[in-house]
Chains A and B, each alone.
Chain A
């Protein structure tokens, strides 16, 4: 199976404080890989390090077989990495539709863009209702949907999802993960999912890694991690 993303010995630091101490992980094509861990383990930093976003990094990052660890944030996005950041990155003063169009600002195929926009609206009908509304007025769940749809508008081959469940009501989280399942099946996109909510993440993911204070401490298929005693105790509350 081809690996969309392969990370070896990745270290990342904010200023002088190292947060990731050399991690290895990979994402297989067409699969969902989950990166689990508690608050402060370094999950968000891992995603930022992949994109060279606001952190200092070292180590190797291969995206579709090519080294991207010396490439700028903007270029990595252009190569096909869609990053749904923590905090959702909403453009609050623009309308929902303008937010979505920003996702594909580099694309020139107007008709295909119109089709993609419609497709996003079938995944997220709520966004269609809010089409001309200022994005800052959307609810947290709607903004999360908007962030995912915006990233997908660029037709990325890898989607980095940073805690889509953060701050949302359980029902909304369930909704979003149901849609993510559809997206996994219908879009040609591989997903690296960062989550604190291990239970719901393991339901969606094929494989998973467990991150503790900047180091990968466990990895395996979702089933393996779900049945692991330590994981059950610490992350699934069983």
Chain B
């Protein structure tokens, strides 16, 4: 029983990280109707930037916020320079470009920062009051950060005019332009926000898995599974899906398939959701009369 509880809790913690990355995926999807496969690598790159800033002597939180801002700009620049010229290109070209971005960010990070595994600090003190025997302060902090992100994102899309115009621009860019909505600017903003969210996720995951150019590859697959389970267009669903994947991954890894095959759990989940319920548990199926 003790092992079971421990596994569930460990699952919730990693789930928090998957949830944050899933949120970034949802963000891009809401803004562009694409799934950005390079999201994890962009997050990894951001985390390296944070690491470099901390190495340069900046205090943790200063480095944290500087990284979030720089990542936002980086995301916006990627949209403007790489994605925008493709706005008439077929889906498949865009997917290939996403994969290209993945490889590019991966290689650049290795080239600049080296492939050696690095330690990354956590902002949550070991002996903080919310630390307990079952959950370290960092684990609690990670979950808290994921929940804050989802609350912010959910309110943004649901209650703000900017969030509404963003959903509209993704859905029907032509009609949006006729209403005076500047679609290009919203796409840039969407990419920027997703990159910023990814950066936060990266900085949360790095203290656990350690920092190296490959740290986000597995995470991205889990996050993608989480986003799909929850519904790729629903921030709340994505977070629930992220936590769910974290827990499932741990339990099935412990009791059924063993840790070596854990990643295949995520892949099975992805395929399963796409076959059985493509809109996800909480996603909305868009109905259209013809």
Contacts and interface: CB of A to CB of B under 8 A. Distances in A.
Interface string A62-95: 0000000000011111100001010001111110
A154 interface: yes
A217 to B, nearest CB: 28
Contacts of A101: 161, 164
Interface string B162-194: 001101100110111111111100000000000
B286 interface: yes
Given A134-B286, A134-B287, A93 B180 contact: no
Interface residues of A, number: 32
B289 interface: yes
A89 B175 contact: yes
A154 B180 contact: yes
B284 interface: yes
Given A51-B178, A89-B175, A90-B175, A102 B287 contact: no
A150 interface: yes
Q: Most A CB atoms within 10 A — which of B167, B178, B289?
A: B178
A90 B161 CA distance: 18
Nearest to B176: A102
Q: What is the size category of the interface that chain B forms with chain A?
A: 20 to 34
Nearest to A73: B177
Contact of B180 (A54, A77, A92): A77
Q: Most B CB atoms within 10 A — which of A92, A138, A139, A151?
A: A92
B168 A91 contact: yes
Contacts of B168: 91, 94, 98, 102
B180 A137 contact: no
Given A74-B180, A102-B179, A102-B181, A93 B284 contact: yes
A233 interface: no
A89 B182 CA distance: 16
Q: Most B CB atoms within 10 A — which of A54, A136, A140?
A: A136
A102 B165 contact: yes
A137 B290 CA distance: 10
A186 B180 CA distance: 24
B288 interface: yes
Contacts of A138: 289
Contacts of B288: 92, 136-137
B232 to A, nearest CB: 13
Contacts, number: 84
Contact of A83 (B178, B286, B287): B178
Contact of A91 (B161, B175, B182): B175
B290 to A, nearest CB: 10
A81 B182 CA distance: 15
Contacts of A76: 180
Interface in B234-290: 284, 286-289
A103 interface: yes
Contacts of A137: 287-289
B165 A93 contact: no
A106 interface: yes
Given A137-B289, A138-B289, A105 B179 contact: yes
A53 interface: yes
Interface string A94-126: 100010011101100000000000000000000
Nearest to B172: A91
B178 A53 contact: yes
Interface string A161-175: 000000000000000
Contacts of B233: 93
Nearest to A143: B289
Given A94-B167, A102-B165, A77 B286 contact: no
Given A136-B287, A136-B288, A78 B180 contact: yes
A83 B168 CA distance: 16
B156 to A, nearest CB: 14
A37 B215 CA distance: 63
Contacts of B161: 101, 105
A75 B180 contact: yes
Contacts of B177: 53, 73-74, 77
Interface of A: 51, 53-54, 73-78, 83, 85, 89-94, 98, 101-103, 105-106, 134, 136-140, 150-151, 154
5 contacts: A91-B168, A93-B167, A105-B161, A136-B286, A136-B289
Across the A-B interface, give the 7 residue pairs with the lowest CB-CB distance, nearest first.
Answer: A89-B175, A77-B180, A136-B288, A78-B180, A93-B286, A83-B178, A73-B177
Given A85-B175, A94-B164, 7 more contacts: A51-B178, A89-B178, A102-B168, A103-B179, A134-B284, A136-B287, A150-B179
